[in-house]
Structure 1
Amino acid sequence: METGDQHFDILVLPEINLILVASVIEPLRAANRIAGRELYRWTLHSPDGGTIETKSGIPVPVAGAFRPGRETDPLFVLASYNWKRHATRELKFQLSQTARHRSLIAGIEAGSFILADTSLLDGFSATTHWEDFEDFSRTYPQIDTVRERFVIDRKRITTGGSLPTLDLMLELIRRAHGYSLALEVSRLFIYEQERTRADLLQMPSVGNMRILDARVQAAVKLMEDTVEAPLSLARLAKRSGVSARRLQHLFREIMGVAPHEHYLALRLNAARRKVIETRASFADIATETGFNSASAFSRSYRSSFSESPSGTRRRLKTKAISAG
């Protein structure tokens, strides 16, 4: 599942929301940090090469003006307010030309309007911010407009706002590098205090899924608390107040994976942190994350992360020596 490093071109239009830019970049940065390698790179552009002034007054520096040639890397077009003012005839011509070569083009929030206005969404399914949905669908009847947080349709992507964009990036990470990495990235953006029953509807996002079922939430919390000694599905289900079969169904429906897949991802992510951050033996790490043996741990680790635990440490040691 691991692929080579991926580069994104990011075109940022003026009057952007700062959080929208962060929603694209921060999951990629986090994935690099967690993986301990450069899985993702990105280059920011503005229409004229000038620093972008965000609506919050915090400037976003860019590498230069958007002057595409025959690049094939994915292109993300980010826009928030007054997109018509900034989507000049020249910019739309550039987008139309570069679309011939790009592996995909994403319209992020109001960026979906710019792609639609350039006829780059004709015949595709797409979405946009909920406040603009009716206007978008009425203005562009040739586009199959759907009420989703984000839409991936062949070589086109559209999102409905900042948090849906974060969900999109987690989904792209999952598709490229697996559920374990996407889960760990998502957990970096979750702020949780001790919950009471009144908090049950204030759930974190995991990819594009929101845990709105108290029974699934209870099972996930149990998994997080029992990484060292994993519970059987039957015990998880009983303590979560549901049958094992029903829990399987709920996990598939809400989380998109089976309970054992989520459980294993939690344990492997805990193990990878220990591999990277401690000098503990692999046998001890295996025990501390619920594996029967170091060999079983090593097999699961390699299957998920495309390298052995010793390979991770060796690579990071080499990187540290080179940096020194």
Structure 2
Amino acid sequence: MSKTSTIGSELGDVKGRRFVFVLLENFTLLSFASAIDCLRLANRRLGREHYTWNLCGEGGDTTNCSTGTSLKLDADLEELHRDDTIVLCGGADVQQATTKRLLNWLRREARRGPAIVGLCTASYTMAKAGLLDGKRATIHWENQDSFAEEFEEIELSKAVFTADGNRMTTAGGTASIDLFLKIIAQDLGEEVANWVADQQIYNSIRTDQDTQRLSVPTRIGVRHPKLSMVIQMMEANIEEPISPSLLAKEVGMSTRQLERLFRRYLNRSPKRYYMELRLQKARNLLMQTDMSVINVALACGFASPSHFSKCYRAHYETTPYRERGSQSARLSV
């Protein structure tokens, strides 16, 4: 008897599980494919269909992923079984994809008590439906600023995935693999999960203790401990910026030495680098929230809207008001 059939027979009494993938318009293909392929491979390891899945979405016909490819759906948003696991697949423009009908359906189904998973930006949809109140959750790092501003009652994590009771969220991309390997390990054991990872050539399985982003030295391409420490302090203090002199003091340098360090490795002054970080956060908030321009300015450490607008125009060649206007027009199409 082969090892595959042995494992299949050993787990023969384990109840199967159905996943209902809810594909939001412009969902991220990688997140979805990573999750569903884990289930496919687990079935292959067992030699039977332990996991089954359906694809559903508004209208029940087809939906588009962020690459422009259309996928055929199995069903509209319909009543599910109590034991189904709902997997929301988000992506670009998640605010627009999170419709009133979807939220009403999700709240109704949640009352049955199923496990609910949010992939990529679908954490936003879960939060909007009130399913993450008082819970720990994560979302793609690019959406973290806007998520934190809108959902203060949720404990936002920078981890690749989170699991809080029967609510699970991922940061997107290959983080789906890490979460679904955890689900498979809980359902069928570590051996099956490790086999699936091997099949995917996935040799560095992450846990909910691993963070999403690359380390500062890797991101900037420079391995200088004091430079990394300063950048970490900058990233952690956007709303109330720290002066270059205090940053330098914190790492045991003079302001002039800090200036030379930034010029040498990043070809810009500490002040300029800090400004770019603040403006990037501001742009994320303008593009992803309905916060007023004044509140965005304050959240990013600008004392006045006029100074914010001047700096924004110099960097992005447009004003915050025009940026907000163009985003609103795009989302209303």
Q: Deviations over 1:34-80 (max 9, x none)?
A: 11111100111011112111222322111011122564311111110
Does the CA contact (< 8 Å) of 2:22 and 2:87 recur in 1? yes
Match of 2:229 in 1: none
Q: How far 1:205 moved relative to its partner?
A: 2.2
Q: Higher Cα Rg: structure 1 or 2?
A: 2
Match of 2:163 in 1: 152
Amino acid at match of 1:206: I
Aligned-partner SS, 1:176 = helix
Match of 2:205 in 1: 206
User: TM-score, length-normalised on structure 1?
Assistant: 0.58
Aligned length: 199
Aligned-partner SS, 1:49 = coil
Gaps of 5+ in 1: 192-203, 211-324
Does the CA contact (< 8 Å) of 1:182 and 1:207 recur in 2? no
Does the CA contact (< 8 Å) of 1:13 and 1:86 recur in 2? yes
Instruction: Identify if the C-alpha distance between structure 1 residues 97 and 75 changes in structure 2 by more than 3 Å, giving closer, same or farther.
Output: same
Farther off after superposition, 68-77 or 131-140: 68-77
2:128 pairs with 1:128: no
Instruction: Identify if the C-alpha distance between structure 1 residues 28 and 153 changes in structure 2 by more than 3 Å, giving closer, same or farther.
Output: same
Gaps of 5+ in 2: 1-9, 211-333
Match of 1:57 in 2: 68
Match of 1:29 in 2: 40
Match of 1:185 in 2: 196
Amino acid at match of 1:181: V
Match of 1:137 in 2: 148
Does the CA contact (< 8 Å) of 2:32 and 2:176 recur in 1? no
Instruction: Identify if the C-alpha distance between structure 1 residues 155 and 103 changes in structure 2 by more than 3 Å, giving closer, same or farther.
Output: same
Aligned-partner SS, 2:174 = helix
Q: Deviations over 1:264-299 (max 9, x none)?
A: xxxxxxxxxxxxxxxxxxxxxxxxxxxxxxxxxxxx
Q: How far 1:104 moved relative to its partner?
A: 0.9
Map 1:159-238 onto structure 2 (within 5 A): 159-190=170-201, 204-206=203-205, 208=207
- d(CA) in 1 for partners of 2:113 and 2:119? 16
Match of 1:319 in 2: none
Q: Deviations over 1:92-115 (max 9, x none)?
A: 011111001132111111110001
Q: How far 1:87 moved relative to its partner?
A: 1.2
2:19 pairs with 1:11: no
2:88 pairs with 1:77: yes
Instruction: Identify if the C-alpha distance between structure 1 residues 207 and 35 changes in structure 2 by more than 3 Å, giving closer, same or farther.
Output: farther
- d(CA) in 1 for partners of 2:81 and 2:48? 28
